[in-house]
Structure 1
């Protein structure tokens, strides 16, 4: 028995020596470089690729099947002269015996200088799509096409793997890729992308265990020009049987620059746990952390229905940051706003829902400076820019976010302000006796562009907003409600309503940007809102106070304040109740007229004080920025005021003729020269008002020509009184009326 065991051991040892000797002889006596042509032909016949071997082939046989390729390239059979990939060196070795068990056990795999060139041509066909495809078979001369299906079926049968075959088991000690490059060009769109200086290294690669890896690369695109440097680290894990792939403790960071960033740079990073479960048709990004310059975000993302219509859900939280600084750091220049401290405190929390065509932020909480919005923001169709807004707000000052006026607008505003101040100074100096103020000439409105017309034409909008307090044009609107929609260039303001200083307002309108020149239509109803809040100017005291009720229906065209005012047309009616003409002593004006009739001179100095009124009303017809008011009426205790004139909104000027009728209030006047007696009752004292609208009644003066006619009327009234006393019942009524009529002309 001992002898048999010894003999068996010697046989095994002999066989091993023979195998080793054979392997040594094979690797030293057999040179694969002598068979490059056969290897190329084998690559054409079996792999259907064009393999070029410019360098030497190095190899070993046992116990590792080692292989090194130098200066090799691969191309498709239909374009063999245009390599898709080439490399300087590929080195790998495989254990021989595990191959018999369909297990690939490899030592270190090294790839040096890999270049991958991907091109999509004018027809949209990619050069990589032909890899592994044989050239179209040429039919032999004289043969028919009836055998082609059989050949195809045979080929398909050969390519179909046997059901009993087990999947390969992959086992690699390490993988190293140095100085690799990937280039992609789309001829049809002109776009190009590249990844250069790719460095990839991993530890042992085994199915079902964590694989530490590191990746660095430089990325770039052609249209627009973008450049990025990235570094990626983490632990990859894959289970091919379960079709489950993970990247744990992923840490990605880098730097981005290029044309969209105006040559500025953005430092970014991303962290988290990534999972793709193809069997369950889902993917996840848990523990998501993002940063981009000053921006910091946390969240998670989940994708389902990967193979059909992917749907995204998750949550995101963006910590408070300065949006102005962030945008400036990435090359975005904000236009000057009225308040340059806005957008310095932005914070967001919300739930994400999306598809490949849409994205929505549900349960949104957005903090914008000192305002908070809650609700929903969504783009329902990226291609149509279908924007959906449903938000509630506590308080929002919209004036702070409006664009600042241009230098031209500021200069024009300063010129007009100087003109008004000059006119106002002369009006206050002597409102009773000074000359009538000149009509203003300076344009009151800006030529600055108001609307982004091109964007509005493409906008698909549905907006529903509510505000606790909305400040708009310095008006604090309580419980404001705004609903608007837009599609195809027609934007409809369905409602803008709210409470205002214990009154209410309600506005509807349309904006049509389909024509070359935008067209605006607006209806507004205001109910018992203090009028002074609408007409105050640069902090000056408004010329009139009172509760305004207004109905208006207006149209205009243009894309600037000036253009809209110059084309303003429509109609309006108004009533102001319980009001005051501020710093306008209408009593003084009337006193001046009566003193003229009495042929006396006022002894007291004019006193500036207000004139209260019970009601001021009228209607307006607007034509190209000029509002004609034919029926101005005012009720003042003891007086009735009638007037007609124009308000030129283009320069904010007025030109009115006003008649003041004494109704019989004979209370003692401040000056003896303007004592009212019965013969002045019913007479209409004429006033002329002209000048900047801001002056109000301070721009009114006695119409001296009209007072001369009024004196004749007063004299006729006095003669008629005497006739009445003298004639009594001595003459017939017809003759009495005829005699009185002589003195009324």
Structure 2
């Protein structure tokens, strides 16, 4: 037993003497020039160790390193590429005999990395890479050939090396990546990182916090996770991951972002939750959600399953002051193809609900495809357009100074000349379909809507829009080209069997026309500002209406009044609706030079034949039409009044005014000029009346002259 104690004591004495000799005879600082020389040889740059290098023997052998700087080449904004305040590293000796590398606690204090690309495109890493490559070539040239020396080989049956690390500590690190050529920079002002005991096959805890700036965006982040490295060192797992972050610049403020993940392993599903609160220009949001995530073992395919997102939105740019948005979907992303797909998605925006599929492919011009469906969308209710202000409210809002009253008119005039910004059409490749059970917009009500649209190379094509519309149908095609100085457009439209009056009442609040209508339209133009559309639109509109009426004018009543006037009597008053029935109405309207005109307006009814021509100014909205009405039958007609005495005569009617207030009047002068027979009847009726009043004196020449003068004044 004593011999054993003596042996152990001898070993201890040898170790102590060896350590003492090492401290006495070997000063690690003498290696500074050698280290600097080797770094210079390998990289071409200088290594400056300002602090001392010191030995450390407890609890393991290691060393400490003082302030150290790795220089940049000349001509860069900072002198150092890498600098370090201090560092500590130790290695246990005994485990080395068991082929196990046990590294003690690594501590790096006040480290900094600076990477810069100058305006001339030169990067401070370029010289480092070139020097490393040259050093590698020199090393290869200096190596002995295989005939003289071979690399050491693992002996058969030898145990593989294992490694463990007691911990890593990175304290108050900083970094800056600066690109003067692109005008960008990213700076890490403070980075702290800790890793507890780390060994393959064991779980370890990692934590970090960071603060920095990317351009004008300042950010902070902190997080924690447990980490597991498999013994083969070829894979890793995470669990209990937590991340919190903030970001802010002049326009955006991400006040809080949190992400949690129960676990992560390539090829397995992970449960993820997230929440974000913040503001972007004119919009505040508060969102939260969850999903299941899986990353393929090859790290090239990401899947999201049962993604659920809820968000509250507030802002002046929204259709409503406050909105609630919900989204559910499955999604995936193929890294190699750059393709993201969204399947079985459902989005609820307040009362609007849509569902479908979509895809996005990353490219210089992104490729987007979609298919969207919805049972019912009331765009007017969603935008609040169905809540019209009363005239009294509008009048109250207009109360103010003359200057205040003229401002909206000036703004309105500017809006009419403002072209929309269509630049986005040049940077998209979009194609898709939209199916809607019911749809309401601009108070027009459609059903079973199918839209097929495509945007590519600055051209928007509405391949077709099919819908049911007021007991009829609509089929439309359109094209919008945004590549010229001003956009150009073409529209073809066919409306079949539509009830015109309810459509006009809903859309333009005008019930002047009723009937079952067929309308074929072919229009084209340049410019989308309201004023340019009115000035430049050109094309034709063919109209065919059946079994309808024109409201606001009663032509038979006007005929009776004309008849009574010619007889020198007042027409018998009969309370009748102001409308003229027809069995058919046709017209071809030509648009161009800021006007819409027709020469073949034709209206047929059992009593009347109406033919007209004229025009309306699309800019001023003034109306100037001449309508000739012929009484073609002897019957009791509309209103039950006989019109025998004016049968087969043409009665001219002037239509003046504007779109909102059309005015109808009988052109009596034209009536007399066009119908000699009617003028003769008028003279006879006047003579008969004079004879009743004056007797034989009515035949006096002076009386006849006065009667003729009065008659001309009446009809001219």
Distance 2:74 2:231 in 1: 33
Aligned to 1:302: 294
* Residue 198 (structure 1) aligns with: 191
Report whether the alignment pairs 1:523 with 2:492: yes
Measured after TM superposition, the shift of residue 400 of structure 1 is 5.8
Q: What TM-score do you get using the length of structure 1 for normalisation?
A: 0.78
Aligned partner of 1:115 in structure 2 is 112
What do residues 375-434 of structure 1 show as CA deviations (whole Å, max 9, x unaligned)? 212222342122212111111234467799xxxxxx9xx99xx9xxxxxxxxxxxxxxxx
Match of 2:659 in 1: 693
SS in 1 for 2:478: strand
Q: Name the CA distance, whole Å, in 2 between partners of 1:253 and 1:523.
A: 55
Aligned residue in 2 for 1:376: 357
Distance of aligned partners of 1:504 and 1:62 in 2 relative to their CA distance in 1, 3 Å threshold: closer
Counterpart in 1 of 2:408?
A: none
Shift of 1:572: 1.5
TM-fit CA distance, 1:296:
1.0
Residue 604 (structure 1) aligns with: 573
Query: 324, 331, 338: which one pairs with 1:351?
Result: 331
- Deviation, 1:352, is 2.7
SS at match of 1:205: coil
Query: SS at the partner of 1:694?
Result: coil
Structure 1 residue 249: Cα displacement:
0.7
Matched residue, 2:200: 207
Q: 2:609 aligns with which of 628, 635, 640?
A: 640
Question: 2 CA distance for matches of 1:660 and 1:138?
Answer: 103
CA distance in 1, matches of 2:231, 2:122: 32
**Which of the residues 692, 701, 704 maps onto 2:668?**
704
CA distance in 1, matches of 2:152, 2:306: 46
Once residues 373 and 243 of structure 2 are traced to their aligned partners in structure 1, the CA distance between those partners, rounded to angstroms, is: 37
The CA distance in 2 between the partners of 1:90 and 1:189, in whole Å, is 35
Matched, 1:559 2:549: no
Choose the corresponding residue for 1:66, options 40, 52, 62: 62
Indicate yes or no: 2:199 matched with 1:219.
no
Residue 177 of structure 1, aligned match among 167, 170, 173: 170
- Of residues 566, 571, 576, the one that matches 2:545 is 576
Aligned twin of 2:303? 313
Query: Cα gap change, 1:505/1:62 in structure 2, threshold over 3 Å: closer, same or farther?
Result: closer
1:251 aligned to 2:242?
yes
Check the 8 A contact 1:91/1:111 in 2, yes or no.
yes
TM-superposed deviation, 1:524: 0.5
SS at the partner of 1:349? strand
CA distance in 2, matches of 1:497, 1:385: 28
Aligned to 1:397: 378
Q: Cα deviations across residues 33-74 of structure 1 (Å, max 9, x unaligned)?
A: 244223433555689874321012221246621311111123
* 2:459 is the alignment partner of 1:466: no
Structure 1 contact 174–205 (Cα < 8 Å) conserved: yes
Name the SS of the counterpart of 1:516 in structure 2: coil
Match of 2:644 among 664, 677, 682: 677
SS at match of 2:477: strand
**Is the 2:443–2:506 contact (alpha carbons within 8 Å) kept by the matching residues of 1?**
no
Distance 1:254 1:677 in 2: 91
For residues 555-593 of structure 1, the C-alpha deviation after alignment (integer angstroms, 9 at most, x for no partner) is: 111122221122110012101222122343233222222
Tell whether 2:390 aligns with 1:388. no
The answer to whether the 8 A contact 1:669-1:675 is kept is no
Cα gap change, 1:271 to 1:154, in 2 (>3 Å)? farther
Q: Give the superposed CA RMSD.
A: 3.8
Q: How does 1:323-338 map to 2 (within 5 A)?
A: 324-325=313-314, 328=315, 334=317, 337=319
8 A contact 1:371–1:394 mirrored in 2:
no
**1:156-205 deviation per Cα after TM superposition (whole angstroms, max 9, x unaligned):** x9998856697653323232221111221234423211222112123222
Structure 2 distance, partners of 1:158, 1:361, is: 60
Question: 1:51 is matched with which residue?
Answer: 47
SS in 2 for 1:18: helix
| Residue aligning to 1:430 | none
Q: Residues 112 and 564 (structure 1 numbering): CA distance in 2 closer, same or farther, change over 3 Å?
A: same
Distance 2:180 2:637 in 1: 96
Of the three residues 255, 275, 284, the one matched with 1:266 is 255
Counterpart residue number, 2:677 = 713
1:353, 1:361 within 8 Å by CA — same for their partners in 2? Answer: no
Question: 1:238 and 1:198 mapped to 2: Cα distance?
Answer: 24
1:24-103 matched pairs, under 5 angstroms: 24-28=20-24, 30-44=26-40, 50-61=46-57, 64-75=60-71, 82-103=79-100
Kindly state the Cα deviation for residue 114 of structure 1 after the two structures are TM-superposed: 0.8
**Contact 1:48–1:131 (Cα < 8 Å) also in 2:** no
Cα 1:318/1:665, change in 2 over 3 Å: farther
What is the match of residue 127 of structure 1? 125
Output the TM-score relative to the length of structure 2: 0.81
Counterpart of 1:509 in structure 2 is 478
Aligned 8 A contact 2:650 2:675 in 1: no
Separation in 2, partners of 1:37, 1:399: 80
- Find 1:499's aligned residue among 468, 473, 483: 468
Please give the alpha-carbon distance, in whole angstroms, between the structure 2 residues aligned to 1:658 and 1:445.
Answer: 37
Partner of residue 484, structure 1: 453
Could you tell me whether the CA contact under 8 Å between 2:626 and 2:654 is conserved in 1?
A: yes
Q: 1:286 — aligned with what?
A: 270
Cα distance in 2, alignment partners of residues 452 and 569 from structure 1: 23
SS in 2 for 1:206: coil
- Residues 372/137 of structure 1: CA separation in 2 closer, same or farther (3 Å cut): closer
Shift of 1:540: 4.0
Residue aligning to 1:731: none
Residue 16, structure 1, aligned to residue 50, structure 2:
no
Q: Which residue of 2 aligns with 1:104?
A: 101
Structure 1, unmatched stretches of 5+, are: 140-146, 405-410, 419-442, 721-745
Please tell me whether the aligned partners of residues 107 and 172 of structure 1 are also in contact (alpha carbons under 8 angstroms). yes
Distance 2:208 2:642 in 1: 101
User: Secondary structure of the residue that 1:182 maps to in structure 2?
Assistant: strand
Q: 1:266 to 1:560 in 2, by over 3 A?
A: farther
Question: Cα gap change, 1:51/1:719 in structure 2, threshold over 3 Å: closer, same or farther?
Answer: closer
| Aligned-partner Cα distance in 2 for 1:70–1:61 | 17
- For the 8 Å contact 1:358–1:382, the answer to whether it is kept is no
The answer to whether the aligner puts 1:241 opposite 2:232 as a matched pair is yes
Do 2:623 and 2:656's aligned partners in 1 also have CA atoms closer than 8 Å?
A: yes
Residue 363 (structure 1) aligned with residue 355 (structure 2): no
Residue 444 of structure 1 contacts residue 652 of structure 1 at CA under 8 Å; is this kept in 2?
no
DSSP 3-state at the match of 1:693: coil
1:456 partner SS = helix
Between the two structures, name the one with larger relative contact order (CA 8 Å, sep ≥ 6): 1
When residues 285 and 67 of structure 1 are mapped into structure 2, their CA distance, relative to the original with a 3 A threshold, is farther
Cα distance in 1 for residues equivalent to 2:130 and 2:100: 24
**3-state SS in 2 of match to 1:566:** helix
Using the alignment, how far apart are the partners of 2:54 and 2:139 within structure 1? 42
CA drift of 1:79 comes to 10
Q: 3-state SS of the aligned residue for 2:85? A: strand
Quote the Cα distance in structure 2 between the aligned partners of 1:186 and 1:620.
Answer: 63
